[in-house]
Amino acid sequence: MKKKSQALCALSVATVLLLSACGSNGNNNSGNTGGDASPAPSPAASTSPSPEASKAPEAKDVTLRVFSTFAGTDAAKPAFQKALDDFSAKFPNIKITNDAMSANDDSFRTKVNTDMSSGNEPDLLFYFVGADAKGFVDAGKVVPLNALLDEDAEWKAGFNPAALDAVKQPDGNIYAAPLTGYYEGLYVNKDIFKKYNLELPTDWDKFTTAIKTLNENKVIPLAAPFDQSHYLIEHFVLGAAGGAGHNSGILDAVNPDWELGLSKLNEIGKLGAFPKDAATIDLNMAAKYYSQGKAAMVIEGSWAQGSFSDEVKAASTVLPFPAIPGGKGDGKSIIGGFGSGFYLSKSTYDNADKKDAAVQLLKFLTSPDTIKAIAQANSGTPAAANVQVEGLPQLALDGFKMASEAPTINAPIDTQVAPETFTTIRQHIQGIVSGKDTAKAALEAAQKIEVANKK
Amino acid sequence: MKGDKNYILAFLLPAFLLLGTFVYYPFLKSFYLSFFRTNGFFNKKFVGLDNYERLFSDDLLGAATLHTLEIMLYVLIFQVGIALVLAVMVDSISKGKQFFRTVFFFPIVISGAAISLLFVLIYNYQFGLLNGIIAKLGFEPILWMSETGSLKAVAVPTVWHYVGFYFVLFLTAMSKIPSDFYEAAKLEGIGGIKKTTMLTIPLILSDIKVVMILAITGTLKIFDFVFILTRGGNGTELLGTYMYKKALVDQNFGYGSTIAIYIVIFGVVLSLITNRLLKREEVTY
């Protein structure tokens, strides 16, 4: 009996140890998020945190976690890594964990939202502005940068004012420091068009004629996936509804121009516009069809240029999506803007140990030099004032020209409506193209979801 | 005997804590969330039974259920079937058993995502392996991921991936059959296929039952193959992928949780039916 109880004792001690190990982990985490209770409180007290952020922090080891989407096939991944390395070389006491996840999928959104809601915020977060950020901004997980920008005139002056304006949340505060902007457009392989004596698709007739001819010649006219049909939806709505209509949302009523735009998917689907396997490929594969010269057109963002093969890049130009007849589109407006930036976590800002280092890194990563390097890599519009990106290919110059001539530059629909609303539209695209479903039914279903989400 | 009770409690406690934290707590939390309309991670609104009402009017969920049942059929016939055939064959050879066991088990070691990516390159219409071979032979390329064929195309790697697991289970079950059964059969002049159908299979029936229940519940969890190969397009949306899309892509955790509850109930009902259908006296030896 005695032996038994000893064993029992030992076992419970082991269990307690196991549990307490778990427990202390939890404490550490909450300590970080709590802010004041940092892992090493006494040294924190001895070095008084200087409010002057530009002053180098005293050589105390700090580790900062930076979450971004500069991963996988992102064209700016090496440039971003180099920026972090340069910073580490300058401040050897600041260790940076480059926590990056590719933006090819939606899973990085899950990661960001889980981190932000579970007290595991990265110190700096590179993420979208707008509807995507609404949750953690409203919950006070990130700090407004207005005061920091005003304190450091040099840093603020480095930005293009329009870029700073574009990243404002609806409450009027700037939470994200922008890096590069982007535009989306219709990429056209001029060589293929020349081969079949086609005119560039600057209006709807030329666009449909091109689709017909290309399909007859067994070239994929427009590489696009049906599941990840984000760009298709945005541009067909923009082409039919124009900038104002595109931004009108779907909460109050279904805009008939949206219906017109989406119903055109059926029309061009009948002409054979899409790849045969459009229902099962993803955006990556669609872009690959274009970048290997198998497709003549693709709707993509400026960031995709880096992944085109050299041959296709040289043959490409980018055009605004043509206006759809009978709609309000102007054929010149585009989707684009400054849709993302670096957020500074509230928990980091409140942590005297980390605050200065994090602010310093934030300023370094959004300095004109870094912005220039990133813009060079991803062909985006630099968010910095007076930065000229040199040595850009003609395609990127075409893109900037398109953006500068656009009467309206609109944030994509999925940053304006609830995620579920947008997926509801996406789920109907295959049906609309094949004729099994109608644009009207799709938009009515989406509106119902939008109302359930927002009212 | 009181001491025994303490022992039992003490040994059960760690497992209970782990299970409780990682299985029962999330399950109850899902149940709780299924009564809310969530919008992202930060807002939720109590909506009562709205999500459950939605379950019954959701065409996509109905379609996903049918697709899941279809792929379950393929899994039961081919995955369990092929595993059984392979196990019988390997069991009856005298040399190289170990080799075949390793070879057939191997696909399980590869992650589902990697296999899926492999099959993306095999099936692709434009530059896939299969169409490459067909083009070399001078035929028109075939759309493997067609509207009717996609689910079958997804079923192929799904079946292949897990055959080895059931194969090993069957083989282990067969090795437990005492050899005197076979010696008696030999004396009676029973051999070949008859020996397999009359002796081996009835003797491992309880293992077959376990494998079938594992296969059925496993089908409810299929995710990677569909998500990477077709993204749920062309009639391949399964319950697992649909739940993921609702909960994580749409950030509607409320409805996603409701679907999760539905999947659990669906799985339990299917397992009960299987159990009932295969009810037979257990063989002990």
Report the chain B residue with the minimal C-alpha distance to residue A425: B250
Which residues of chain A have a CB within 8 Å of the CB of B234?
279-280, 430
Tell me what pLDDT residue A6 has. 57
A142: which DSSP letter? B
- Cβ contact A135–B6 (<8 Å): no
> Which residues on A lie below 8 Å from B127 (Cβ)?
292, 294
pLDDT at position A30 is 37
Rounded-to-integer distance, Cα A31 and Cα A34, Å: 5
Rg (CA), chain B: 23
pLDDT confidence bin for A12, thresholds 50/70/90: low
Domains of chain B from N-terminus onward: 33-277 (1.10.3720.10)
Contact predicate A133/A110, CB 8 Å: no
Comparing A41-178+338-390 with A184-336+411-454, is the CATH topology the same? yes
Measured in angstroms, the CA of A143 and the nearest CA of chain B are apart by 17
Helix axes B97-105, B81-92, angle to 10 degrees: 160
Alpha-carbon distance values, A194 to A9, A296, B245 (Å): 84, 11, 42
Helix (H, G, I), strand (E, B) or coil at A128: strand
Beta bridge partners of A316: A189
Interface residue A5 vs chain B (CB under 8 A):
yes
Q: Does A170 touch chain B (CB under 8 A)?
A: no
Instruction: Note whether A226 contacts B147, CB cutoff 8 Å.
Output: no
Interface test with B, best of A6, A277, A425, A426 (most B CBs within 10 A): A277
In three-state secondary structure terms, A374 is helix
Say if the Cβ atoms of B234 and A225 lie within 8 Å: no
CA distance B251 to A23: 29
Q: Do B248 and A110 touch (CB under 8 A)?
A: yes
Closest-CA residue of chain B to A140: B42
Examine the pLDDT at A26 and tell me if it is beyond 60: no
Torsion of CA A406, A409, A414, A418, to 10 degrees: -140
A135 vs B: CB within 8 A: yes
The chain A residue lying nearest B127, using CA atoms, is A289
Chain A residues 16-75 with a CB less than 8 Å from chain B: 18-19
Q: Which of B40, B233, B250 sits opposite A226 (nearest CB)?
A: B233
**DSSP-assigned beta bridge partners for residue A319:** A186
Closest chain B residue to A434 measured between Cα atoms?
Answer: B147
The residue type at A163: A
Nearest to B7 among A8, A117, A220 (CB): A8
Chain B CB within 8 Å of residue A128 CB: no
A117 touches chain B (CB under 8 A): yes
**A369: phi then psi, degrees, rounded to nearest 5:** -65, -50
DSSP letters, A12-33, are HHHHHHHHHHHHHHHHHHHHHH
Tokens 């109930």: give the residue. Answer: B265
Between the alpha carbon of residue A36 and those of residues A117, A342, B92, the distances in Å are: 19, 23, 69
Cβ contact, residue pair B231, A116, below 8 Å: no
Nearest 5°: the CA angle A48, A52, A54 is: 120
Interface contact flag, A420 B250, Cβ < 8 Å: yes
**Are the beta carbons of A419 and B250 separated by less than 8 Å?**
yes
Per the structure block, which two tokens stand in for B18? 């782990």
Q: Which chain A residue's Cα is nearest to B153?
A: A280
* pLDDT greater than 60 at residue A25: no
Structural class in CATH, domain A184-336+411-454: alpha beta
Number of residues assigned to chain A:
455
Nearest-by-Cβ selection for B233 from A106, A280, A453: A280
Q: How far is A323 from chain B (nearest CA, A)?
A: 29
Q: Could you tell me if A12 lies within 8 Å of chain B, comparing CB atoms?
A: yes
Give residue A233's pLDDT band: very low, low, confident or very high (50, 70, 90).
Answer: very high
* Facing B10 at nearest CB: one of A12, A282, A427: A12
Q: Shortest Cα distance from A201 to chain B (angstroms)?
A: 24
Which positions ≥6 away from A392 have C-beta within 8 Å?
A376, A379
d(CA A322, CA A319): 8
Enumerate residues 6+ apart whose C-beta is below 8 A from A77.
Answer: A70, A71, A100
User: B121 to chain A: nearest residue by CA?
Assistant: A285
**A378 pLDDT more than 50:** yes
pLDDT at residue B2, rounded to an integer = 62
pLDDT digits (tens, 9 = 90+) for A113-125: 888 888 888 999 9
Tokens 């019988």, located at residue: B88
The DSSP bridge partners found for residue A63 are A95
> What count of CB pairs under 8 Å joins A to B?
101
A24/A241 Cα distance (integer angstroms): 56
SS3 A91: coil
Listed by start position, the domains of chain A span: 41-178+338-390, 184-336+411-454
Percent of chain A with pLDDT over 90: 27
Q: Give one word for A140, left, alpha or beta, with left for phi > 0 and alpha for psi -120 to 50.
A: left
Smallest Cβ–Cβ distance between A423 and the set B41, B42, B250 belongs to: B250
In tens digits, what is the pLDDT along chain B, a chain of 285 residues? 566 888 888 899 999 999 999 999 999 998 998 898 887 677 788 888 888 988 888 888 999 999 999 999 999 899 999 999 888 888 888 788 888 888 888 888 888 889 999 999 999 888 889 989 998 898 888 888 888 888 888 999 998 888 989 999 998 888 888 888 888 888 888 777 888 887 888 888 888 888 888 888 888 888 989 988 888 888 888 999 999 988 888 888 889 999 999 999 998 998 888 888 877 666 666
- Range 256-315 of A in CB contact (< 8 A) with B: 275-277, 279-282, 285, 289, 292, 294
Rounded Cα–Cα distance for residues A191 and A210 (Å) = 13
Beta bridge partners of B36: B46
Amino acid identity of residue A370, one-letter, is T
Contact state of B125 with A276 under an 8 Å Cβ cutoff: yes
Q: Does residue A57 have a pLDDT over 50?
A: no
Say if domain A41-178+338-390 classifies as CATH 3.40.50.720: no
**What is this structure's pTM?**
0.80
**How far is B26 from chain A, CA to nearest CA, in Å?**
15
Residues in A closer than 8 angstroms to B60, CB to CB, are 427
Backbone angles phi and psi of B242, in degrees to 5: -65, -40
Chain B contact for A6 (CB, 8 A cutoff)? no
Q: Is the ipTM of this complex over 0.85?
A: no
pLDDT value at position A453?
80
Q: What is the 3-state secondary structure (H, E, C) of B199-255?
A: HHHHHCHHHHHHHHHHHHHHHHCCCHHHHHHCCCCCCCCCHHHHHHHHHHHCCCHHH
A381 class by beta-carbon count within 10 Å (0-12 exposed, 13-18 middle, 19+ buried): buried
Distance, in Å, from the CA atom of B223 to the CA atom of B112, rounded to the nearest integer, reads: 9
The C-alpha of B16 sits at a distance from chain A's nearest C-alpha, in angstroms, of 12
What contacts B240, CB < 8 A, 6 or more positions away? B68, B220, B221, B222, B223, B226, B263
Residues in a beta bridge with A95: A63
Q: Which residues contact A362 (CB under 8 A, 6 or more apart)?
A: A124, A177, A342, A344
CA distance from start to end of chain B: 32
User: CA B29, CA B247: separation in Å to the nearest integer?
Assistant: 14
Of A50-64, A271-285, A350-364, A374-388, the range with the lowest mean pLDDT is A50-64
Write down the pLDDT at residue A4.
52
